[in-house]
Amino acid sequence: MAVKKALVKQIQGVTFMGKTDSNHWVAMDGPEEFGGSDAGTRPKELLLLALGGCTGSDVAVILKKKKIALDNFEMNISAEVQETHPQVYTKIHLEYVFYGKNIPVDAVERAIELSQKTYCSVTAMLQKAVEITHSYRIEETKN
């Protein structure tokens, strides 16, 4: 079994820097009223970015292997948060948005399905605790 490691260092108050085995640092911070500098992404927000990055990478690679050309690709992620502590995400929705010409719907649907059900480890972990839904849209570009 592979073991992954992370180091998180307090900078000041609730400002932290963290890095993992890839050796890239990321800043995490809180608002000033909680002792932060409001200078970094909140740790819980990083979960949404990790989810988007994980599934987005899968979908991009799958479509590239199918030789589907995209002009652009983005995801809009929204999450509902429980009002009481711990303020966990209760629902997360991913909207995949594809830009290009003649993008085949079946290829998009299959790429998303493979990511959501087989490849994205972040989805696999989070869906044990939170409802994750998705949708997509294809925007035809003029060129």
Same-domain status, 79 and 130: yes
Do residues 139 and 99 lie in contact, with contact meaning Cβ atoms separated by under 8 Å?
Answer: yes
Rounded distance between C-alpha atoms, residue 134 and residue 111, angstroms? 12
Residue 142 has a pLDDT of: 84
Residue 122 has a pLDDT of: 98
Same-domain status, 12 and 32: yes
81: number of Cβ within 10 Å: 11
Residue 143 has a pLDDT of: 67
Residues of the chain with pLDDT under 50: none
CA angle, 78 as apex, 27 and 29 as ends, to 5°?
A: 20
Residue 104 has a pLDDT of: 98
Q: Helix H segments across the chain?
A: 43-65, 105-114, 121-126
Same-domain status, 68 and 35: no
Q: What's the pTM value of the predicted model, to 2 decimals?
A: 0.93
Do residues 33 and 42 lie in contact, with contact meaning Cβ atoms separated by under 8 Å?
Answer: no
Rounded distance between C-alpha atoms, residue 138 and residue 97, angstroms? 6
Same-domain status, 70 and 100: yes
Cβ-Cβ contacts under 8 Å for 142 (sequence gap 6 or more): none
Same-domain status, 19 and 79: no
Domain span at residue 8 reads 1-41
Q: What 3-state DSSP class applies to 15?
A: strand
The CATH number of the domain where 78 resides is what? Answer: 3.30.300.20
